[in-house]
Structure formats: C-alpha cells, structure tokens
Amino acid sequence: MTTRIGVDPSILEKLQDIVSKDREPGSMRSWNSAWLNSATPWEGGQAQPPLQHLLESCEIDFPRSGTALVPGCGKGHDLIVINSLLGLQVLGVDFAPKAIETARNHLENTVPELIKGENIRLQQVDFFELEGSYDLVFFQALQPEMRSKWGAQMYQLVKPGGYIIILAFPTNAPLNRGPPFGIEQNTHAQFLGGGGWEKVLDRVPEKSSTTHVGIERLLVFKRLADQ
C-alpha cells in the first residue's frame, strides 16, 4: 500500500509522529530521533535522479571548480554525483549527528578516496548557522518554519554567479502536514525575493525516483552579481 507520495504509509506516519509531534517540531533532536528509529522514508539508496540527469545533460553551465554545498545531506548519495560529474569539492551538512555518522560510514565504505582526499567533507551543523561561500548548492527539504529565513541564508551562502539547484517535493501534499511538507510552485522564488537571483530552470524533471514521479519540480536559480 502506498500513499499519495508513494512511500510506505507506516514509515511516513512514524516520521511525522517523531518530527512534527516533538515538543520542538523540526528540531535537531526530532530529526536525529527519526534517524535513530530508521524513520527515513526518503532514503532511496541512490542520488536524486533529477539532479544526476541535469548534471549529466550539461544543459546549464555549472561551475567546474570551487565548492558545492548540500544542506540536509542525509546519507550523502548526492555528494558523490556532484563531485564526480562537476569536479567540485563538496561539503555535506546535516544537523542530526546520526545522519552524519550514517553518511560517514556510507561514504568511507563506498568512496574512501573521496573522503580521504577531502573531495567530499561532512559537517554536523545547523544550516542556519553555517558560514562560507559556495559556488553551487543542492537543496531539497524546506520545512514551513524555515521558509522565511531560508532566502536570506541562501543569499549569504551562494557566491555571486553561483547556483542553487532545488528539488521541490511533494507538489501534491498539504502544506502544513509533514514531513515532507507540500510545496507550491512559487514558494522558493517567493522566499529568495525578487532581486539578486535569476531563475534559469523550473520544470517537472524528466527523470524522477519511482516515489516522486510527477510530484516534484526541478528549479535552478543563479545569483546575480552584486550591484
């Protein structure tokens, strides 16, 4: 049996119970608890197909040197794809210690040379406390309580001329019940604000994982040079 967002409803319910019914919904403790209890329905054992397909297509002239950031990196599959297809160094961050431990184990087993050579690095930190300047950011989850702060933080983190690739999911679910929380078509543009960004892509991706077909959008924004 599957729900409208295509994953086992019992795992989804477990995740929602842990993360949204916590006394601080969406806190680091609640997400860590989801990891500790294997309530991780997003874990598909592969990089996000829309990301991989977009990078392989060379449709957009993404940077080929510098550093990429993946906030909420989970187990780290997307880090490998960004490093191997663009050659960027990649920093994966997640505020849940169990997520970082899981990612470290996974990456040390599958791509030990990338971890040893620091082509891929991991850091346990809250996205909103992160500092630095990045050429590319790949971003997915956007909890409602994060949304107002999200645009300003992205502006701080992305270099002028740099890009954000966003996988917006799910486009068919309630906005206030999650995770995953529903996302409307213009949500990201709205929170990035009018100036400072050029939207260079916004479409239903050609390739999606089986649980995401038709209910996600792929967006790319380029940060304009400072005026």
Residue number with CB closer to ligand SAM (210 or 227): 210
Query: Applying CB under 6 A, what is the total number of residues that bind ligand SAM?
Result: 19
Rule CB under 6 A: say whether 92 interacts with ligand SAM.
no
Residue 120 to residue 105: CA distance in whole angstroms: 13
Rule CB under 6 A: say whether 134 interacts with ligand SAM.
no
Q: Which of 91, 99, 136, 168 binds ligand SAM (CB under 6 A)?
A: 99
Give yes or no for a contact between 79 and 17, defined as CB atoms under 8 angstroms apart.
no
* Nearest partner of 141 among 29, 41, 213, 3, judged by Cα: 41
CB of 155 to ligand SAM, least distance (A): 17
Rule CB under 6 A: say whether 95 interacts with ligand SAM.
yes
Q: Which of 8, 118, 126, 145 binds ligand SAM (CB under 6 A)?
A: 126
Q: Is 121 helix (H, G, I), strand (E, B) or coil?
A: strand
- Interface residues for ligand SAM in 173-192 (CB under 6 A)? 179
- Interface residues for ligand SAM in 18-77 (CB under 6 A)? 31, 42-43, 71-75
CA angle 217, 218, 224 (to 5 degrees): 130
Rule CB under 6 A: say whether 163 interacts with ligand SAM.
no
Q: What is the dihedral of CA 209, 122, 220, 156, to 10 degrees?
A: 150
Residue 104 to residue 79: CA distance in whole angstroms: 12
Q: Within 10 Å of residue 107's Cβ, how many Cβ atoms?
A: 22
CB of 170 to ligand SAM, least distance (A): 11
Rule CB under 6 A: say whether 197 interacts with ligand SAM.
no
Binding span for ligand SAM by CB under 6 A among 94-102, 104-112, 154-162, 210-218? 94-102
Rule CB under 6 A: say whether 150 interacts with ligand SAM.
no
Residue number with CB closer to ligand SAM (47 or 88): 47
> Exposed/middle/buried for 186, CB within 10 Å: 0-12, 13-18, 19+?
exposed
Token digits of residue 145: 């309580």
- Extract the runs of DSSP E, i.e. beta strands, from the chain: 67-71, 89-94, 120-124, 134-139, 158-168, 197-203, 217-223
Residue number with CB closer to ligand SAM (122 or 220): 122
Q: Which residues bind ligand SAM (CB under 6 A)?
A: 31, 42-43, 71-75, 93-96, 99, 126-128, 140-141, 179
